Amino acid sequence: MKKSYKRTLAAFCTSLTLVGSMFAGNVDRSGEAGASELLINPWARSSGQAGANTASVTGLEATYSNVAGIAFIPKTELIFSYTDWLVGTGISISSFGFTQRVGETGAIALTVMSMNFGNIPITTVAQPEGGIGTFSPSFVNVGLSYAKGFSDNIYGGVTTRIISEAISNVQALDVAIDAGVQYVTGKHKQVHFGVSLKNVGPTMAFTGDGLSFTTPLPQNNPSGTQTYTVENRSSGAELPSLLNIGGAYDFYFSKDSTVLKNNRITVAFNFTSNSYSKDDFLLGVEYSFRSFLMLRLGYMFEQGIWNGADGISTDRTSVFTGPTAGVTFEVPFKNKSTFGFDYSYRQTDPFSGVHSFGVRINL
């Protein structure tokens, strides 16, 4: 039976890698993908490690980096998260999700992420300075996930995500699929490996009245009262598919099994192959004291991030400059439930970084 699971894991990981290579692109295509909000991690814990914990992430936050991790949830988990995105732009992100144990080895999760851009002035050709009202884009994606433990070592899961982008007269709707596996081994389950494929789906195109305009007939229409409507077609955009390959190791500071996990340091590494931007190398470290206090550091590296004179990289194509950090306080209350507060910071240039705040309830 164990050999069968190992063969299944190997075949699945190989399939993800091959599919990921099919979608692989190059940096010359940067900015051509649609639904770029799918690349934003709205959760505070994993973003504090720069998203490097693809192999070791568990619970609801696993729906972003490796959905297989939700299979580790003991019962029920809820998270409310708020992100001040690129401080100075006025953009914020609100997220909510819950995951629930199903049966002995399965779990389901529902997540909702919404971006708020504030009120943007309406401008037209006739009134380029505005003064005729405002509009607010609506960017929302909803994910439904399922994960299952196939053995004591192998976990897998899949997410179906509905993506919606809209203003008052133009909208786009699409569907994306995520899939992932995690392998855990070692005497104390301290060795972690993970592979995930994200954002695979059909092209995304906009439709609506905003893509049409009315113009006078060109002939035999001296008064201009006879008009016709011209409708433009929006070109479709591919989703920003990517492949994650990661590993992690837990270090414990006691040989006594009763207090083994009181002090833990986890070192995590992840390689991300992006279809529409440079590949990323992510490194994260987390220290945990009795699961009450958790401290995190992370670093995201991509080609060109260090190039340029006077600390200004002329080759950098990401707003992120590398360092991340985070902290969690989690306290127990009745019936083994816990309440936690999460925070993370991601350094950027330009703008003044990204701040994420989360409230977590485990029931």
What averages of pLDDT result for each successive group of 10 residues across the chain (363 residues)? Answer: 53 52 57 89 96 96 96 95 96 97 95 94 84 90 97 95 93 96 92 96 90 75 69 86 95 69 90 90 94 94 72 72 96 89 95 96 93
Inter-residue contact 282 to 288 (CB < 8 Å): no
Distances (CA, A) of 290 to 254, 329, 330: 12, 11, 10
Distances (CA, A) of 75 to 121, 192, 335: 46, 22, 12
CA–CA dist 100, 73 (Å, integer): 7
Candidates 207, 196, 179, 162; CA nearest to 35 is 162
Are residues 294 and 210 part of one domain?
no
Q: Where are the beta strands (DSSP E) in the chain?
A: 76-85, 91-102, 106-116, 120-121, 134-135, 138-149, 154-166, 171-185, 191-200, 212-216, 227-231, 242-252, 263-274, 280-289, 293-302, 320-333, 337-348, 354-362
End-to-end CA, the chain: 33
CA–CA dist 276, 52 (Å, integer): 19
Are residues 229 and 91 part of one domain?
no
Domain harbouring 255, CATH code = 2.40.160.60
Q: How does DSSP assign 342-363, residue by residue?
A: EEEEEEESSSS-EEEEEEEEE-
pLDDT of residue 125: 81
Are residues 307 and 232 part of one domain?
no
- Which residue among 212, 237, 262 closes a domain? 237
pLDDT of residue 334: 81
CA–CA dist 65, 52 (Å, integer): 9
3-state secondary structure of 244: strand
Are residues 26 and 152 part of one domain?
yes
Are residues 108 and 150 part of one domain?
yes
pLDDT of residue 1: 47
Are residues 259 and 156 part of one domain?
yes
Q: How many domains does the chain have?
A: 2
Which residues partner with 271 through β-bridges? Answer: 245, 281
In this prediction the pTM is: 0.87
- Which residue among 191, 220, 237 closes a domain? 237
- Which residue among 185, 215, 237 closes a domain? 237
pLDDT of residue 22: 46
How buried is 218 (Cβ within 10 angstroms: 0-12 exposed, 13-18 middle, 19+ buried)? exposed
Candidates 274, 283, 144; CA nearest to 197 is 274
Are residues 214 and 106 part of one domain?
no
pLDDT of residue 218: 72
Are residues 346 and 223 part of one domain?
no
Are residues 173 and 35 part of one domain?
yes
Inter-residue contact 207 to 234 (CB < 8 Å): yes
Candidates 130, 106, 111, 128; CA nearest to 119 is 130
Are residues 183 and 120 part of one domain?
yes
Q: Which domain holds residue 223?
A: 204-237
Are residues 211 and 355 part of one domain?
no
Are residues 315 and 210 part of one domain?
no
CA–CA dist 271, 320 (Å, integer): 16
